[in-house]
Structure 1
């Protein structure tokens, strides 16, 4: 199960960034996972929870976003979703000279830091109107 090594890597990278930026913790991490990356989102979520134990990320939420695999035909320029398993033959010209545009991604796309203790709530509080 290589999802544990992926989870440990994500936790390590985010924790280093949090410490260097002085963040007291992490609320949420979003990871983009390509359809062809070979990572199972549910397994990664489970491993992420284990990998966060005892770190600044303990209790953080992992949000995974699927990135569809897309290819483009070099001869005719048509682009399509390849599906899984990937169909790399162009339906328009039957050409096999294709370029994979997306689907192999595995990247941290967002991190939401925890607010420092005693920090004001960033949500504005509506003030009553004066009459």
Structure 2
């Protein structure tokens, strides 16, 4: 249910962008979702179809790009995507989450006319 407020924000931003750019219709919206953001594609899609009604982005195709959380090895410094464990694939050392990664949620781009 926490997807509803972010979907309403997407619709609001698309209204502003359509107005600012003289667009009557937004046909495609690319969204970036981090793996730790707890945003679920299907919920965003469902709420979007309802919230976008009678707005320039009604019927727009949503494209989801997923971003992994990134880790940094404490031993060798290698940065790598999180994949089930926190061990470095190069040296086997322990790693830490790189602050801010995997929590993204934003509009990457949009198309329209």
Could you tell me which runs of 5 or more consecutive residues in structure 2 were left unpaired when the two chains were aligned. none
Aligned to 1:106: 105
Greater shift after overlay, 90-99 or 71-80?
90-99
Shift of 1:21: 1.2
Any conservation in 2 of the 1:89–1:98 contact (CA below 8 Å)? no
8 Å contact 1:72–1:100 — kept in the other structure? no
Who wins on radius of gyration, i.e. which is larger? 1
Q: Which runs of 5+ in 1 are unaligned?
A: 115-131
CA distance in 2, matches of 1:47, 1:79: 35
Query: Match of 1:72?
Result: 72
TM-score of the two chains, using structure 1 as the length reference = 0.74
Q: Deviations over 1:11-46 (max 9, x none)?
A: 111110110111111011110101111101111111
TM-score, length-scaled by structure 2: 0.84
Alignment RMSD (CA, Å): 2.1
Separation in 1 of the partners of 2:97 and 2:51?
38
The residue aligned with 1:118 is none
Q: Does the 8 Å CA contact 1:26/1:111 hold for their aligned counterparts? A: yes
